[in-house]
Structure 1
Amino acid sequence: MGTAERINSSQRTLPYVEIMDSTLRDGEQTNGVSFLPHEKLMVARMLLHDVNVDRIEVASARVSEGEKEAVRMICRYADQIGKLDRVEVLGFVDGHLSVDWITDCGGKVINLLAKGSLKHCTHQLQKTPENHIADIKETVEYATSKGLSVNLYLEDWSNGMKDSPEYVYQLMDELSSVSTIKRFMLPDTLGVMNPLQVIEYFRKMIKRYPDIHFDFHAHNDYDLAVSNSLAAVLSGAKGLHVTVNGLGERCGNAPMASVQAILKDQFHAKTGIVEDQLNGISRLVEGYSGIAVAPNQPIVGENVFTQVAGVHADGDTKDKLYYNELIPERFGRKREYALGKNSGKANIAKNLEELGLELTPEQTKRVTQRITELGDKKEIVTQEDLPYIVSDVLKHDAPEDKVKLISYVVSTAYGLKPGANIKVEINGQQYDGSAVGDGQYDAFVKALRYIYKKYLNRTFPILANYQVSIPPGGRTDALVQTVITWHYNDGLLRTRGLDADQTEAAIKATFKMLNIVESNL
């Protein structure tokens, strides 16, 4: 049987793959990342309820009182929805300490950290393998007596298989017969493996211990975490450990979205992951962690479903020539066509089509030239800029604004929430509104919402994303660029404002959005 046939055979027989997310434990070991207890709860809720991961590892035992409160909150929530057995806490071979800590939090699962290499056992613990095995058994017995389910990590297993396989087998020979250990979890702790080694070592483990449930825990030091995870599944691993956005120590862990997509598309494996929630959990963790997702990060990066080259947009109109199985709607996203110097007529035509604007070929050519000129100057052009560019190019004035800001005052005071008082004109009629909010812009928008609800009885678009930056090519004292994305008519509307003041830039972007909405009524 050839390689391709073996892979196809594996595809037909691949079992369900458990996904264990370790964002709240291993992901928090990313330099500079520390989640507050309520943030941990929000992430855990979304992972369990919306994303539907099989398990979550939420903390290490005995870290701090704040960590203890976070674990208690998560366990209470998980118990309420009948998923407490999916919440796991890393514990240590420390007698009763970790077990007592976890049970005091209301936890039901301990992921016990043992040493998977002889070097770690003898140098870090300064114990013989026999002593370490005896300590593990004692801790497992105590955890079981306290009603905990036990999974066992073999830390540094990858180096153990490289340098001391006899130690790994000694450990497994003694512990695989302990029926209360539910899973053996095999980490590439230092991210040193390649897929061929993963296949070799996993097959040795499974041949020797065919009835054991093995998980694989990858690290990304050589940018092989996803590849190694898939190699593990092809070789018989029943569970994979991932983190949202690939957070983790050093170079991070295997990113959940990438693992899910390639498991399904390349190997037809089954998981419980709800794919259209992957972008949402990515944004939530990005916000809480403060670690920005790279724009070209597969599945969840800002630009990965944006066609830049005009030839690609042209191909998409001709039987979707540049599509693959990674359809953006599958992940709760939308395909976009960038506007810039590489756009070409096809990209612009796609954006005009979404706006309902029809131009002649000659007019489209002239608009394309203008956008190319702006791109050469590093100007960002959004879809919402198009009507104004079209008007300018065709020598027509842009339509007069139907929504105008007459005046506004925003204020802050120590110990008080910021407030806003505004006066706007909508279709020739002036309205006043005031509100307080969590920030100056938030107060301003709440005052606008008040006007739209009280006087116009209309729904105000919901803010989806808010980005502030210095325009490309600018300096620290240059203009502030604010790009705001809104949910509108089952789609997204993105507008941009420029000003020396961040709040003023955001207000300009907001009124640009409101005028687009009014023009479409």
Structure 2
Amino acid sequence: MEGSFLKVKIFDTTLRDGEQTPGVSLTPDQKLRTAVKLDELGVDVIEAGSAITSEGERQGIKNIVSEGLNAEICSFARAVKVDIDAAIECGVDSVHLVVPTSDLHIKHKLRKTREDVQEFAVESTEYAVDHGLTVELSAEDSTRTDFDFLKEIFSEGIDAGAHRICACDTVGMLTPERAYEFYGGLTDLGVPVSVHCHNDFGLAVANTLSALRAGATQAHVTINGIGERAGNASLEELVVALHSLYKVETGVNVGMLYDMSRTVARMTGIYLQPNKAIVGENAFAHESGIHADGVMKKAETYEPITPELVGHKRRFVMGKHVGSHIIRQKINEMGLRVDEERFQQIFSRIKALGDMGKCVTDVDLQAIAEDVLGVLPEKPVELEELTIVSGNKVTPTASVKLKVEDIEKLEAGVGVGPVDAAIVAIRKSMAGVADITLEEYHVDAITGGTDALIDVVVKLRNGENIVSARSTQPDIIMASVEAVLGGINKILSDKKIRESKETSS
């Protein structure tokens, strides 16, 4: 395919199409915080919501408008005056004015005629333009629409004052080849063309790239690709593909992408699969010995972009595929010195754990190394007492007594369950010593029966440092507490080693 990119604008619909993800509902405050972050990211347009939806939705849009952001603030609207009036009330800059155009939608959803839809599109466009709004006239299910009719309705909308047009691949039916032909066929209408692709066949980003190569100038995207069903085209994937593969720059600050992804994941409660491109936790993680060795020597051998480009971090995972170079590096970081014989013992034990299907955590490695070396593991923090109160109509409450460097700390916490309460109490006890957040919590029953061994794996964050830890016990509460304390001890031990190295240098 021939074609070249024009300037690409980013229309972010995380707060509208993204919020239509099943189970997601954002408060006005959450919407405002996300919009401010999106503006810092550098998107051109923020679709803040659909003003007609509810009073809370309108308040959220008004809050965003009043913030005075650089981005154009847009509201979704159907081609009816009541929707446009709601958008006008909110003070937005523009409306994403959507009309269904496929015969399937016109006949079965609207139960109208093509002529009715044309009339709606023209009248609503004129009404919005007359009230000072920028209008992006959008055709829903456009990729299953008779193409001559699609161009006709867009032409009439443009004559009525529409400033931009958008063709929506509402159920993700395009292929990259057809996307190029389809969007290329709309570029002679005299106004900017937007591409809006859904990901039902996993092709949303590829189809969006093809549309942009064909002459579309604005891409509708969401952070993390969230949205209805399989979601929308992913902002981070599209922007980095443009930046790295096509050498096309947008106004987006790519260094903020990982942080932006995590913010939206927290706000929506929709967390990413680990292997998500660009921003997933495994996007720059390496276990294979060959890969890890190559990355340590020259990152480009197995990384197409650096993690730093998008604000991410590289990490090495220890499992049955791990190579000796990574284990040596980890042992050195722990401040331990081992000869070749002991190193081979450590290496063999890690491989054996991997063959058993075990994830070898930082704490596991330290325990294995110290066991081989005959070193007693240092425990800056030790559990002295744990009391749990939980039951029907009782708020789960935990009190813990910890010994932190010979100083006793006693704290209590409440939570949604006894495990949560215990972890809250521990975090309160460690405030100012090791301020941690629980990044991941995973539990498995290893054996059967009511006395099953429970395997708990946690991932803790302390500033920029992330450690993983595990504990296996018949009691899920104790296993959880010991795993968290194991991670905290690893964080504190690592901190002591770093400080010692800085002092000696």
Return the match for 1:507 from 459, 481, 489.
481
* Structure 2 residue matching 1:176: 3-state secondary structure: helix
- State how far apart, in whole Å, the 1-side matches of 2:57 and 2:105 are: 30
Equivalent residue, structure 2, for 1:192: 173
Match for residue 424 of structure 1 among 383, 386, 402: 402
How far off its partner does 1:390 sit?
0.7
Q: CA deviation at 1:114?
A: 1.6
Match of 1:89 in 2: 75
Partner of 1:398: helix, strand, or coil? coil
Q: Does 1:29 align with 2:20?
A: yes
Residue 519 of structure 1 corresponds to which residue in structure 2? 493
Report the alpha carbon displacement of residue 411 of structure 1 after superposing the two structures with TM.
3.8
C-alpha spacing 1:452/1:300, structure 2 compared with 1 (3 Å): closer
- Corresponding residue to 1:405 among 359, 383, 394: 383
Question: Aligned equivalents of 1:236 and 1:376: distance in 2?
Answer: 52
| Contact 1:337/1:350 (8 A) holds in 2 | no
Amino acid at match of 1:29: Q
Are 1:195 and 1:231, in contact at CA under 8 Å, matched by a contact in 2? Answer: yes
- Residue 19 of structure 1 is aligned with which of 1, 10, 21? 10
TM-fit CA distance, 1:452: 5.2
2:15 maps to a residue whose letter is: L
Among candidates 48, 72, 77, match of residue 38 of structure 2? 48
TM-score (norm 1): 0.85
Distance 1:41 1:505, change over 3 A: farther
Given that 2:125 and 2:137 are in contact with CA atoms closer than 8 Å, whether structure 1 keeps it comes out as no
How many angstroms does 1:472 deviate by?
Answer: 7.4
SS of the residue corresponding to residue 295 of structure 1 reads coil
**Structure 2: distance between partners of 1:75 and 1:358:** 61
Q: Is contact 2:169-2:197 (8 Å) kept?
A: yes
C-alpha spacing 1:340/1:99, structure 2 compared with 1 (3 Å): same
Shift of 1:227: 0.8
Give the direction of change, closer, same or farther, for the CA distance of 1:48–1:356 in structure 2 (3 Å limit). Answer: same
* Partner SS, residue 88 of structure 1: strand
* Whole-angstrom distance in 1 between the partners of 2:473 and 2:227: 37
Match status 1:202 vs 2:176: no
- The aligned residue for residue 297 of structure 1 is 276
Secondary structure at the aligned position of 2:199 is classed as: coil
- Give the AA of the match of 2:339: T
Q: CA deviation at 1:496?
A: 2.8
Asked if 1:366 corresponds to 2:372, the answer is no
**Counterpart-to-counterpart distance in 1, 2:268 and 2:251:** 25
> Is the 8 Å Cα contact of residues 24 and 40 (structure 1) preserved in structure 2?
no
Deviation track 1:250-283 (CA, whole Å, cap 9, x = no partner) reads 3222122211211111111112223233223333
Matched, 1:388 2:373: no
- Counting matched residue pairs gives 494
Preserved contact between residue 464 and residue 487 of structure 1 (Cα < 8 Å): no
Match of 2:63 in 1: 76
Offset, 1:502: 4.5
Matches within 5 A, 1:80-229: 80-83=67-70, 86-94=72-80, 96-121=81-106, 124-160=109-145, 164-179=146-161, 181-206=162-187, 208-209=188-189, 211-229=190-208
2:256 pairs with 1:277: yes
Between the aligned partners of 2:102 and 2:429, the Cα distance in structure 1 is 66
Give the unaligned 5+ runs of structure 2.
497-505
Alignment of 1:328 onto 2:317:
no
Flag the 1:21–1:354 CA change in 2: closer, same or farther, 3 A. Answer: farther
Contact 1:183 1:214 in 2 (8 A): yes
Contact 1:311 1:346 in 2 (8 A): no
Is the partner of 2:245 in helix, strand or coil? helix
Partner SS state of residue 485, structure 1: strand
* Distance across 2 between alignment mates of 1:473 and 1:342: 26
Distance of 1:289 and 1:74 partners within structure 2: 17
Q: Identity of paired residues, percent?
A: 30
Aligned-residue Cα RMSD (Å) equals 3.0
Q: Distance in 2 between matches of 1:280 and 1:472?
A: 35
Counterpart of 1:267 in 2: which secondary structure?
coil
Distance 1:404 1:57, change over 3 A: same
Shift of residue 188, structure 1, vs aligned partner: 1.1
Q: Which moved more, 1:257-266 or 1:197-206?
A: 197-206
TM-score by structure 2 length? 0.87
Q: Which amino acid counterpart does residue 316 of structure 1 have in structure 2?
A: V
Alignment check: 8 A CA contact 2:412 2:425 kept: yes
Which digits, 9 at most, give the CA deviation of each residue in 1:481-502, with x for residues without a partner? 14132224x4323333344454
CA distance in 2, matches of 1:470, 1:505: 11
**Are 1:62 and 2:41 matched, yes or no?**
no
Q: Distance in 1 between matches of 2:167 and 2:340?
A: 61
Q: Give the Å deviation of 1:230.
A: 0.6
